[in-house]
Structure 1
């Protein structure tokens, strides 16, 4: 069935306007900052002793740090589909990486409702600067998915200076048009974020800053272009720990500039900042002692930093051990914006706002991950991991006593294996039933 989005969103606009009139509380601004391939152990407040991240650490020290925050995918595109829709990526058909090599035709279905579309109904100005990775064709551009403004790249990664994708195509866009711009990717994303905040300080806004750092090619501010004709981006195997460290520290400096801009505009206490990573680390990153890295369904592939910062609303220095996921940001942001959620659409995320602002406990719920490497389900302290598709060779881990997933206790708890395996199969068949994969 084809959804007439103009009719749906006219209704949402009218309802949103009524909601705005009935709420005396001013709508807060929302800034979501997403790092790319940043591991659980890659920043100071999560245990790094070598990479200095004073600005991100300050967000945690003066806000709320999650110890058990998870991306909904272990690679880029699925996670971003969940952030945009509040749904498991499998419901959207975005189950793997939308690559520059093979998937230039594919993208997040326009029938999906994004969080940007939802908050626009409540009067928010919306922007995304940085990585999109949910479709190469102009029809899939963020400006056709609810964002008023977009500048950045649509591929999984680009040369940080030349802005060429993995196959050598120009990939720097303003709205849905190619528009080359000189500069280091991290700094450009920050520049446009600052300008957006300054232009929109007198109205509520939703701003996504989706960084490329520290994804390869591993390049610092003064490093040369690493795209080689016929070979593509050559930075992946040639990076050094020093360059990786610099990339994260530059991003941290730029996050500090965003926070300072909010302070200068008098918006600090009117703005929620949420910082996270899209998945676990690649080769040079640290999973902080967790098993696995990017693309794995073990903890190292999807347990990532997650920080909420809102001066005057979130108590400084709080630490949350609740199990949460990226899809939770959708209903949380909608609640903040006093924006109604579309009806008739399955949402997998839960509203974190009472927990973030008041410390309310969350109800226990299962969480799921699945890709070509494996499948997993988490319920409370227990996590079951299997091979993909056929649910073979189940492994069971007690994450309270064994967060590194070193000890498989499946043989000791056959009843728990059976229980979680049943949940995993039920979820898998539900989220894939009738869903057209786009890749």
Structure 2
């Protein structure tokens, strides 16, 4: 008798804003992801526990908050607090493998400086990012040569740069190669080839495809680079950011990122490229989903689309990410479709976290879920439209990226957000009245009770989850 447990396909993007695939968000064509949402459930209030690649990816693997798994910032930088996720940390890859799943991994890793997906229960197929994962073989150069492209000769057209005193960083531009020769297409091709093999075995499979986009630099081939006219883009509410009443680091980060001098035209071009990049990735997702159909395994495959975190792309006049806990970077897309998921085109407004995928995958595989994780399975909400995921709030944290440590903690309910900033003023936002998070209400007398309630909830979470700075922070939050 064949194994009736579902296959699982995780389609993870890198730095994708939630509103790229939100029907009420940016006007990007994402037909493949929209099709998944039409056949399953879209979580409208999904969040990452941290807006840093390595840390968020370690949380996805482990179901733990960063302060519990220890990967606090990006592992490839020399100031990494921890260069590798401890092999003793329980993660879902070995658990799925022990439960009889055939695991495969394509694309970006970025969880360990020297460890690879092989160390965490996956057969690594290829497609890594040489910048973040130089220890993993990619094969992209040979693939591009097979498509008539010399990888050594690729120079972006009409580039946009961040400017510094003695250097500049590439932010985006038109990639002068065919779409079929991009890294995104390469990773999709590797996935399709692997799925062709996995479809022939009796055991269920888990396949993870990690795209490197739409993370900057936004290097986008035609026709995608010109699909969205910068002149047609409407301003975003957060473009009106003044930094009044905000922590000083927010204004400082514009200089640190080298984007203070960018013109409105340059910002709009970057936004158009970002949107085109996502459109291109969606077309690669469509290829993978078509392969599932052609191979006859789509009906028994749970498909999940999510991202590690979001991207500012000019929101709040910022670039990339950093010590700012706005929804631009902490709110993420999350779509789940497949066997066991009730409803078609259902929107679930429950507050959920990226780390909740870990127990969700294990439960789908009938594998034991560790008792001491911070996550909770999404299956109650997936199986029954009348059941909530069980959270009244989600929490986030930040510890710094490439320039030292900077402690932040966040509690986010459906209506309010409170941010604790260790070295500066805290933040409070009423998201119903101010969805752009422009007005910091932390000292507003009308919000005194809200502030007190959220501070206590944040302090309780820090104590309950063993946050190492709780002993110092909670005196501030509850004093």
TM-score, normalised with respect to structure 2:
0.71
1:320 to 348, 351, 365: 348
**What RMSD over aligned residues (CA atoms) do the two structures have, in Å?**
3.3
Distance 1:402 1:25 in 2: 50
Q: Which moved more, 1:36-45 or 1:107-116?
A: 36-45
Alignment pair present for 1:192 and 2:190 = yes
Relative to structure 1, the CA distance from residue 406 to residue 241 in structure 2 (aligned partners, 3 Å threshold; closer, same or farther) is closer
Contact 2:76 2:113 (8 Å CA) reproduced: no
User: Which residue number in structure 2 is paired with residue 217 of structure 1?
Assistant: 217
Match of 2:169 in 1: none
Q: In the alignment, is the contact (CA less than 8 A) between 1:40 and 1:46 conserved in 2?
A: no
Structure 1 contact 291–300 (Cα < 8 Å) conserved = no
What's 1:304 paired with?
A: 332
Aligned ranges for residues 37-436 of structure 1 at < 5 Å? 37-43=15-21, 45-49=23-27, 51-100=28-77, 102-103=79-80, 106-137=83-114, 140-153=115-128, 158=129, 164-165=130-131, 170=134, 172-173=136-137, 181-183=142-144, 184-201=182-199, 202=201, 203-221=203-221, 240-283=270-313, 294-295=321-322, 296-310=324-338, 313-343=341-371, 346-359=372-385, 360-371=387-398, 372=406, 374-387=408-421, 389=422, 393-410=425-442, 411-428=445-462, 430-433=465-468
1:173–1:323 distance in 2 versus 1, CA, 3 Å: same
Q: Retained in 1: the 8 A contact 2:356–2:377?
A: yes
**Is the contact between residue 274 and residue 308 of structure 1 (CA under 8 Å) also seen in structure 2?**
yes
In 1, the alpha carbon distance for the partners of 2:437 and 2:383 equals 32
1:49-101 superposed Cα distances (whole Å, 9 cap, x missing partner): 2x322111211222211110111111211111111001111111112222345
Secondary structure (helix, strand or coil) at the match of 2:20 reads coil
Cα separation, partners in 2 of 1:222 and 1:47, compared to 1, 3 Å: closer
Where structure 2 has 5 or more consecutive residues not aligned to the other structure, the ranges are: 145-181, 224-257, 399-405, 471-479
In 1, the alpha carbon distance for the partners of 2:81 and 2:409 equals 27
State whether residues 312 and 319 of structure 2, in contact with CA within 8 Å, keep that contact through their aligned partners in structure 1: no
Tell me the SS of whatever aligns to 1:83. Answer: helix
Distance 1:398 1:308 in 2: 29
Give deviations 1:153-192, integer Å, cap 9, x for gaps. Answer: 2xxxx4xxxxx427xx956526xxx996434211121112
| Distance change >3 Å, CA 267–CA 103, structure 1 → 2 | same
Q: 1:304 to 1:342 in 2, by over 3 A?
A: closer
Gaps of 5+ in 1: 1-20, 159-163, 224-233
How high is the TM-score relative to the length of structure 1? 0.77
1-structure distance, mates of 2:221, 2:136: 18
1:161 matched residue in structure 2? none
